[in-house]
Amino acid sequence: MRAMSSLYLEHFGLNSPPFSIIPDPGFFFAGEDRGMFIAALLHATLQAEGIILVIGEVGSGKTLMSRILLSRLPDTVDTVYLPNPVFSRDEIIDVIARDLGVVAASQGMRLDALQHELINRHALGRQVVVLIDEAHAMPADSIEEVRRLSNLETDNRKLLQLVLCGQPELDTLLAAPSLRQVRDRVVYRLVLNKFSADDASRYLNHRLRVAGWPGGRLFTDSGEWLLLNDAGGRARRLNLIADKALLAAFAEDKKQVSAKHVLMAIGDAGANFSSAGFKSRGVRLLILALIAITVLWLTITSR
């Protein structure tokens, strides 16, 4: 069965779903500061001077930034990517060693073998980068174990570059006294900010163009305003609501997405009152009223 997003492609003249929540480097939007963010992250990673932190709110696009980074590293860099690092202290070393082709009978031997492998790769002019996504979910002792790997170095260069990506809770985790040595080895802390209103609008239209939209306004002014306010600068939320709104317009055989379709999408997904766009109590009440009116209207017209 086709995915729901694919149902409206022909209707709107699109080549691919523009608002999939799956991180896709092909839809990367450099925008106001994301291009500079990637450039800074790439520079920091290649310096191999210590631990790098990437901090961003949920749904801000950290995973996509990670994949963009990995795709832009030179061929001389070997990478280990851990998207879900809920491993114990022993398991996380196992995973990293296995990804680098290192096999040993015991943990002590494994660390020695891993160090020898890193030295050999360095001698061949290669760099090793370990990128851990969702690092805020890691057990503290697992972070400490990975920190030990980041200690391995030559006279002027780390043998392994560690990049930790996570939500702001990662800062709280690293503030624990037991992780002071990890914190002391952080040389770069990059914060991935949410989109501004203008950038969110450009992001919306960028994704439509990449997906094959021929031009013009697919969203009405009021529809886009509601969409951007609900998303509050978060890429994932914007994608989720935009996709549902396109589906709602398709279901009504409309060629343009109106405020009503966006309200239907918000009602289906649940209003995102925690986002920046809904700090005003008046706006929250207005959205609730519009959702209620839309639901009532749909109920009446469907009879």
Q: What does the pLDDT read at residue 50?
A: 86
| Inter-helix orientation angle 221-231/197-210, to 10° | 110
| Token pair of 293 as six digits | 């009116």
Q: What does the pLDDT read at residue 192?
A: 93
Q: What does the pLDDT read at residue 96?
A: 87
The residue type of 301 is T
- Among 222, 301, 294, 297, smallest CA distance to 264 is for 294
Q: What does the pLDDT read at residue 153?
A: 75
| Token pair of 194 as six digits | 């949410």
CB 45 within 8 A of CB 52: yes
Burial class of residue 297 in the structure, from the number of CB atoms within 10 Å of its CB (0-12 exposed, 13-18 middle, 19+ buried): exposed
If the chain, 303 residues long, is cut into consecutive pieces of 10 residues, what is the mean pLDDT of each piece? 66 92 89 88 89 93 92 94 84 86 71 86 92 92 85 78 94 93 92 92 95 91 94 93 95 94 89 50 56 54 51
Q: What does the pLDDT read at residue 157?
A: 76
Q: What does the pLDDT read at residue 260?
A: 93
The residue type of 250 is F
| Token pair of 98 as six digits | 């296995």
Dihedral of CA atoms 120, 123, 125, 126 in degrees, nearest 10, equals: 20
CB 65 within 8 A of CB 41: yes
Q: What does the pLDDT read at residue 291?
A: 58
Q: What does the pLDDT read at residue 97?
A: 87
Q: Residue 22's CB: how many other CB atoms inside 10 A? A: 9
Q: Which residues contact 263 (CB under 8 A, 6 or more apart)?
A: 226, 287, 290, 291, 294
Q: What does the pLDDT read at residue 282?
A: 55
- Residue 52 region by backbone torsions, left for phi larger than 0, else alpha for psi between -120 and 50, else beta: beta
Q: What does the pLDDT read at residue 1?
A: 34
The angle at the Cα of 76, spanning 70 to 81, to the nearest 5 degrees, equals: 30
How many angstroms separate the CA atoms of 222 and 263, rounded?
A: 11
Q: Which residues contact 1 (CB under 8 A, 6 or more apart)?
A: none
The residue type of 90 is D
